[in-house]
Amino acid sequence: MARYTGPKRRLSRREGLPLFSKDIKALERGVLPPGQHGAKMRRRLSEYGLQLREKQKTKRLYGILEKQFKGYVQKAAKVKGATGLSLLQNLETRLDNIVFKLGFANSRAFSRQLVTHGHIRVDNEKVTIPSYLVKIGQTIALSDQIRDNTQVQNSLEESKTLPGWLERKATIGKVLRDPKREEMEQSIDEQLIVEYYSR
């Protein structure tokens, strides 16, 4: 399946939350789901419908395709403990997500671009794979040639408080530990995703 290249705001309207940073103000106005029947889409969803929407929302939030997302779920199911928590930890420790959470980029799409274009160093080695899972103790840094980029500088200036599992000094970040549930995306109900793939 190819990556979605259509209007991004349409996806945010469909899921009812800002999947992309520029959509926050638009959704504050209570925008209806997309399409001519958007106003009628307020009907109550079935159990399967809720599970499907949660899966689609999470997949779009992290910018992951279906096959890869299913792989994350299967990997999480093999880990001892809560499958849902393990799934979210895998999603959160992806390199592109960490670049975003460190404030190097103002969106996950831009952070993915920084990674694929070779502007990110993990333990001083160039890594161009957005799905690379960063381990505890590893450092993440911007390359010398991208540090003065206007968009990167704006992102660094606008960046908010870091989650407790990350630290950043200037343009170098570090993973201190595994993220706790309360430090990850609160809009996700991971149990619905686990149930969807358990059918």
Reply yes or no on whether the pLDDT at 76 is more than 60: yes
Q: Which tokens is 120 given?
A: 């990110």
Of 3-17, 99-113, 179-193, minimum mean pLDDT range: 3-17
- 3-state DSSP assignment of residue 172: strand
pLDDT at position 161: 87
Model confidence at 3, pLDDT cuts 50, 70, 90, reads low
Answer positive or negative: Cα dihedral of 67, 111, 85, 191.
negative
pLDDT in tens, 80-126: 889 999 999 999 999 999 999 999 999 999 999 999 999 999 999 99
CA proximity to 41, closest of 63, 20, 16:
16
Model confidence at 160, pLDDT cuts 50, 70, 90, reads confident
103 close to 162: Cβ distance less than 8 angstroms:
yes
Model confidence at 199, pLDDT cuts 50, 70, 90, reads confident
What φ, ψ does residue 194 adopt, rounded to 5°?
-60, -40
Q: Which tokens is 88 given?
A: 């979210």
Residues paired with 172 in a beta bridge: 141, 169
CATH homologous superfamily of 8-81 equals Ribosomal protein S4/S9, N-terminal domain (1.10.1050.10)
pLDDT at position 63: 93
List, edge to edge, every strand of the sheet that includes 139-142.
125-126, 120-122, 139-142, 172-175, 166-169
Q: Compare 164 and 23 and report the one with higher pLDDT.
A: 164
Domain made up of 94-177: CATH architecture: Roll (3.10)
pLDDT at position 117: 97
9-37 per-residue burial string, b: 16 or more CB within 10 A, e: under 16: bebbbbbbbbbbeebeeebeeeeeeeeee
Reply yes or no on whether the pLDDT at 10 is more than 80: no
Percent of the chain exceeding pLDDT 90 equals: 72
Residue 118 DSSP class: T
Answer positive or negative: Cα dihedral of 93, 98, 102, 106.
negative
Q: Compare 45 and 181 and report the one with higher pLDDT.
A: 181
**Residue range(s) in the chain whose domain bears CATH number 1.10.1050.10:** 8-81
In whole numbers, what is the pLDDT of the chain averaged over residues? 87
**Residue range(s) in the chain whose domain bears CATH number 3.10.290.10:** 94-177
